[in-house]
Amino acid sequence: MQVSSVKFKLVEGTRSAGQSIFAHGFRSFLTTLGIIIGVASVIAVVSVVQGFSANITQQFDGMGTNVINIESFTPRKERLQGVRAKLTYNDYLQIKYKIAGISNVTPTVRMWGSNAGITYRGQTSSSMIVGTASTYQKLNTVYPERGRFFNASDDQSRRRVAVLGPSIMSKLDIKGDPIGQHVGVSGEWFKVIGIAEKRGKLFGFDQDDFILLPFSTTRALLGGAEEPDIIISFQVNEPSQLDQVKQQVKNLLRRNHKLDQDANDDFEIATADQMLDTFDKIIGSTTLVLGGIVGISLLVGGIGIMNIMLVSVTERTREIGIQKALGATRFDILLQFLIEAVFLCLLGGLLGLILGFGAGSLISNLTGLPSATVPLWAVILSFGFSAGIGLIFGIIPAAKAANLDPIDALRYE
């Protein structure tokens, strides 16, 4: 009994395609090389970008979407003229006591360069020194792995205590239990009361290379008559009041800084949501552009598939003639060669997927980026695009094979 169902033809076509491909293994590999490189490039780019995106999103989620950060802002033209805007301790107090519906108001001052020298038993290094309040812990989800975080009493009493990032341990070669030991910061000694949890590297930047000090202690350490420029952060208790609170803060700071009605703000107010939305747009655009660029190699690979399939049709002309003489229809021949082209592309897509993820993981490890992640949509898109390339560039060779005259095909030498 003759079985002519589409299901049987698909199974038989796939079997025949597999036999033909593996019978010429090296040629098939060279044919799919363009697809392999294209898919591997796309997956490598997407996996690195998505891994980075997932890490940043996780950090923003830990911070909370109702957190507001305020920093000073000076236009480039004014900076070149030596003018510098700043947020002062008085701004912090005004926001803390005059803005309703907020909590965990946190001042932060950072010390860099020559002011950020640290010492321990003859070892000298530099790090980012952050002077902040006890509320910094809740706002930025920085929790101690050992010891404790400093509290309000430490800040009010200007105690010389410090919470170290994990990297400081290795930089200063601190032996044994660090809690209770002393490190030198800008020539003054501080007692270590806590070691923060490890966060790892991001874009090669070590997120664990810092020292946290009480804010009042850091102000005294900086000395001088000039107030340091600080960052002010806080949480809005009711997320629905976010815009209202932002406007109140803006009005308050403009009054504090005596800005004219038509003058630009000398500060920037940003929420975690705004920063995350901006980041997502950048990541989306980057993924689209890079994916489009490396996707060109898929088209090149498709041309290679078409060329080798045309050669295959020529080589198997007598075989096609025998098939037609035995009753194979034009559709049967067309389906057979289409399946072979799609099979080749899918095979290349699978190899490209594996190599791309491996390359993405290697790049992430070498550059200090978060672990590479391949989302499901990227896997589906890679195989879908590979199959599409096989169909598009396989249709011409398949049609040529299907349209061969059986008598001419049998006479072909």
| 8-state DSSP, 263 | S
Q: What are phi and psi of 121, to 5 degrees?
A: 45, 50
Distance CA 135, CA 234 (A): 9
Distance CA 54, CA 60 (A): 10
Specify the pLDDT at position 368. 64
Distance CA 4, CA 331 (A): 11
Residues 6+ apart with CB under 8 A from 200: 207, 208, 368, 370
| Nearest by Cα to 132 from 224, 210, 223, 237 | 210
Specify the pLDDT at position 5. 59
Specify the pLDDT at position 252. 92
Specify the pLDDT at position 1. 39
Specify the pLDDT at position 225. 54
Distance CA 369, CA 206 (A): 10
CA distances from 253 to 92, 110, 145, 250, 353 (A): 10, 21, 37, 5, 53
Specify the pLDDT at position 386. 77
Three-class DSSP category at 18: helix
Specify the pLDDT at position 199. 80
| 8-state DSSP, 72 | E
| Nearest by Cα to 398 from 313, 317, 327 | 313
Distance CA 190, CA 162 (A): 6
Pairing of strands 67-72, 267-271: antiparallel
Specify the pLDDT at position 148. 92
Specify the pLDDT at position 2. 46
What is the per-residue DSSP string for 326-344? TT--HHHHHHHHHHHHHHH
Specify the pLDDT at position 410. 62
Q: Which pTM does this prediction carry?
A: 0.62
| Nearest by Cα to 253 from 244, 242, 265, 264 | 265
Specify the pLDDT at position 103. 87
The angle, 0 to 180 degrees and rounded to 10, between the axes of the packed helices 330-367 and 317-325 is 140
Distance CA 125, CA 172 (A): 7
Specify the pLDDT at position 114. 55
Mean pLDDT per block of 10 residues along the chain (413 residues) reads: 57 69 73 80 80 69 71 82 84 91 89 73 85 88 88 89 90 87 88 88 74 89 75 87 88 90 86 70 72 68 75 72 72 76 82 86 75 78 78 75 66 56
| Nearest by Cα to 39 from 329, 399, 283, 384 | 384
Specify the pLDDT at position 313. 72
Distance CA 128, CA 24 (A): 60
